[in-house]
Amino acid sequence: MSKTLNADLELALSMADLADVITMQHYQSSSLTIESKPDLTPVTEADRAAEQALRAVLAEQRPLDDILGEEFGASAETSTRRWIIDPIDGTKNYVRGVPVWSTLIALTIDAIPVLGVVSAPALARRWWAATGDGAWTTALGSSAKAISVSAVANIEDASFSYSDAIGWKERGALIGLERLNSTTWRQRAYGDFWSHMLVAEGAIDVSAEPELGAWDMAALIPIITEAGGKATAFDGGPALEGGCLVATNGILHGPVLDRLKP
């Protein structure tokens, strides 16, 4: 990992610390303000406050870099470097008090994700990676631990996770979901970022979601790939371009893509 990328990772981890403080201050608060966005998904004051705080840090520390955030959109595209932020991935869980939510922070260079941090303070978990430095996690405040994907080689032995059934039909992949559910050993809907981080740390073998924004997955991709896995769109192309994500331990990627074909 280059010195520049190492400095970027240190910055991203400090940004995650800041986001943790803001999101946990509002989590399970009886006074939390919740609104609906035009697509009818929820947004809270915590989403906005966290993203504003992270944007302020980047404006000071990386003023020449572009920014894309879920709540406040994109800055002018003037740089090959772009930070991509989801202040709270899993807002529906957040507003109901379910602890499966996280802040996602990514850096792309020439549209390729090279750094990702996933911080889930209500789970006391964090995952991160930068190109060439492996993938890492902490749990309950423990020391950083290197993670790697599983070695499961047969789809019939694989554990598969997704978020829910929404979007699969529209993607033309409902049959693919049925194939994966019927041919894998175990199926669960851990959901959102967690499915993909479980692939990265080898707890499960396959995860997939049919409809995602760049902020939903940019941070996940470096962690999965640095852990030895593979992350693509359903057609095998770049996930950020395809608007969907399938992650595997790498060994199973071909068979999974075959099952996702229309």
Thinking of the domain 155-260, which architecture would CATH place it in?
3-Layer(aba) Sandwich (3.40)
**Per-residue model confidence (pLDDT) at position 77:** 80
Tell me if 25 sits within 8 A of 94, measured CB to CB.
Answer: no
Q: How far apart are CA 101 and CA 121, in angstroms?
A: 8
State the 10-residue block means of pLDDT for the chain, 262 residues long. Answer: 83 97 85 56 79 96 94 84 96 90 97 97 97 95 95 98 90 93 96 96 98 97 98 97 97 97 84
Tell me if 139 sits within 8 A of 146, measured CB to CB.
Answer: no
**Per-residue model confidence (pLDDT) at position 193:** 96
Instruction: For the chain, give every domain's residue range.
Output: 3-147, 155-260
Helices 45-61 and 3-26 pack at an angle, to 10 degrees, of 150
- The rounded Cα 139 to chain-centroid distance in angstroms is 17
Q: How far apart are CA 125 and CA 167, in angstroms?
A: 28
Tell me if 40 sits within 8 A of 21, measured CB to CB.
Answer: no
**Per-residue model confidence (pLDDT) at position 70:** 87
Thinking of the domain 3-147, which architecture would CATH place it in?
2-Layer Sandwich (3.30)
**Per-residue model confidence (pLDDT) at position 37:** 52
The structure tokens 């990772």 sit at 9
